[in-house]
Chains A and B, each alone.
Chain A
Amino acid sequence: MEHMGIEKGRLHYSWISSAESTKFVEVVKEVTDAAKAAGPNTNFVKRYMKEAE
């Protein structure tokens, strides 16, 4: 995805067991923080919708 021009930090992979609640909370926090930091990805908004706004 990065190769195609999607910024680092928009895509996350993790492997969390159902027993790892602490890790789950940590990862969710990290992912949402990273998404907020990256801001809205307007590249994926369609033309018609951009025109409407």
Chain B
Amino acid sequence: MTLIRIAKASWDGGLEKARKAYELIGPVPEKDSHKYAVLAEGQLPDMGFKNTKLSPKWVVFPQSEAMFTYTLDGTKENHHILQEVPAAPGARAVIGIRPYDAKAIQLTKMNFDNKDYKDPFWLRNYERCTFVGLAINAPSATDFSTSCGTGPFAEEGLDVLLVDAGEVYIAKVLTEKGKKFLDAAGFGEDAGADAAKTVEDLKAKAEAAITSKVSYNKIQGKTIMDLYDAPFWKDVLFGCINCGTCTYACPTCWCFDIQDEVKGTDGVRVRNWDSCMTALFTHHASGHNPREHEWERTRQRFMHKLKYFLDKYDAGLMCVGCGRCVEQCPANIDIRTVCNTMNAFEPGK
């Protein structure tokens, strides 16, 4: 494992160099918060950000993504044939992505890139990216990432992990892609003998600061129907207003809906984020809706993340513990409470 020292004074200059080879994406202030955005010429990421309301999942899975264009105008070339929207060219570097968000992209990858199905749009977005993560030195009170198979200094899904060590960033080079990015930025100074210990100390401190936890060790031992029919759902989810806040804020929610945007004879086929909270989500063409009631939709969300995903992939929860849904839910529906309730539930008792 190579550790590189990046003096903060040389950070901006390095990014400017890297910009020649990469389109940069990073956290920028927006209103009173931060968001991940494509950095404009001369714009630099604000590395002092706390958390963003939305995760950077849009980098691989945009909220609206044009897939095809078409025309029904018989006088035009290739009419009545879907034309794939060409892939955007060039490499991208996602600066300051949090370890749990990088892990989340790996979880969604199981859905978009597996032996049965490869999603070309997701994959071409993913393959362009180099993920330059930023470790979290001071986790928020709603962060429960350490019980979700990731953590403030986790490395899974990252190409580089930056650790803020005061005057310097210590960069852990995790992949070839990561090394290439650091080379392009001109960052290559060896971090020295003490760096590994500095990182370990900061990591231990950050992990110790996380007191919020979920348990799911007993969920796989219960049947789907036991949990599905459990009596607690209606009351636990009573307050839920079925908005899409949690699904949009969630770095692992991957559902989409395909729509045509049409004007005259020309159209664009777009896929948009969907949300299992809406009535339309499972509304059948027949008019029947298998999830007629609000609480059934919310149950679906939690069963997917905390039960079906576990059973299907045996790779832990479909949740990385970022805490965004906990913080943003208008009705304070807390996935930690739901997960612990599901785990503790004893069927038949």
Measuring CB to CB, which residues of chain A are less than 8 angstroms from any residue of chain B?
A: 45-46, 48-49, 52
Interface of B: prevailing SS: strand
* Smallest Cβ-Cβ distance to B66: which chain A residue: A48
Bound-complex Cα distance A49 to B263 (A) = 7
Least CB distance, B108 to chain A, in whole angstroms: 25
Bound-complex Cα distance A48 to B271 (A) = 13
Given A52-B69, A52-B263, 12 extra CB contacts under 8 A = A45-B263, A46-B261, A46-B263, A48-B66, A48-B261, A48-B268, A48-B270, A49-B261, A49-B263, A49-B266, A52-B266, A52-B268
Please name 14 pairs of A and B residues whose Cβ atoms are closer than 8 Å in the assembled complex, sorted by A: A45-B263, A46-B261, A46-B263, A48-B66, A48-B261, A48-B268, A48-B270, A49-B261, A49-B263, A49-B266, A52-B69, A52-B263, A52-B266, A52-B268
* Smallest Cβ-Cβ distance to A46: which chain B residue: B261
Bound-complex Cα distance A45 to B261 (A) = 11
- Give the interface residue-count category, chain B: under 10
Report A-chain residues with C-beta under 8 Å of the C-beta of B261: 46, 48-49
Report A-chain residues with C-beta under 8 Å of the C-beta of B263: 45-46, 49, 52
In chain B, positions 254-271 with a C-beta closer than 8 Å to chain A are: 261, 263, 266, 268, 270
Least CB distance, B264 to chain A, in whole angstroms: 9
Least CB distance, A45 to chain B, in whole angstroms: 8
Least CB distance, B207 to chain A, in whole angstroms: 44
* Smallest Cβ-Cβ distance to A52: which chain B residue: B266
* Smallest Cβ-Cβ distance to A45: which chain B residue: B263
- Residues 248-286 of B, flagged 1 when their CB comes within 8 A of A and 0 if not, give 000000000000010100101010000000000000000
- Residues 41-71 of B, flagged 1 when their CB comes within 8 A of A and 0 if not, give 0000000000000000000000000100100
Report A-chain residues with C-beta under 8 Å of the C-beta of B66: 48
Least CB distance, A31 to chain B, in whole angstroms: 24
* Smallest Cβ-Cβ distance to B270: which chain A residue: A48
The 9 nearest A-B residue pairs measured at CB: A49-B263, A48-B268, A48-B261, A52-B266, A46-B261, A48-B66, A48-B270, A49-B261, A46-B263
Bound-complex Cα distance A48 to B270 (A) = 10
Report B-chain residues with C-beta under 8 Å of the C-beta of A48: 66, 261, 268, 270
Instruction: Give the residue among A45, A46, A48, A49 with the most B Cβ atoms within 10 A.
Output: A48
* Smallest Cβ-Cβ distance to B263: which chain A residue: A49
Least CB distance, B76 to chain A, in whole angstroms: 12
- Residues 156-188 of B, flagged 1 when their CB comes within 8 A of A and 0 if not, give 000000000000000000000000000000000
Least CB distance, A40 to chain B, in whole angstroms: 13
Bound-complex Cα distance A45 to B263 (A) = 9
Least CB distance, A14 to chain B, in whole angstroms: 29
Least CB distance, B132 to chain A, in whole angstroms: 30
Bound-complex Cα distance A46 to B263 (A) = 9
Least CB distance, B71 to chain A, in whole angstroms: 10
Least CB distance, A9 to chain B, in whole angstroms: 25
Least CB distance, A4 to chain B, in whole angstroms: 20
Bound-complex Cα distance A48 to B263 (A) = 9
Least CB distance, A48 to chain B, in whole angstroms: 5
Bound-complex Cα distance A36 to B266 (A) = 25
Report B-chain residues with C-beta under 8 Å of the C-beta of A45: 263
Report A-chain residues with C-beta under 8 Å of the C-beta of B268: 48, 52
Bound-complex Cα distance A2 to B66 (A) = 33
Bound-complex Cα distance A49 to B270 (A) = 12
Least CB distance, B267 to chain A, in whole angstroms: 9
Instruction: Give the residue among A45, A46, A49 with the most B Cβ atoms within 10 A.
Output: A49
Least CB distance, A52 to chain B, in whole angstroms: 6
Least CB distance, B210 to chain A, in whole angstroms: 41
Least CB distance, B70 to chain A, in whole angstroms: 11
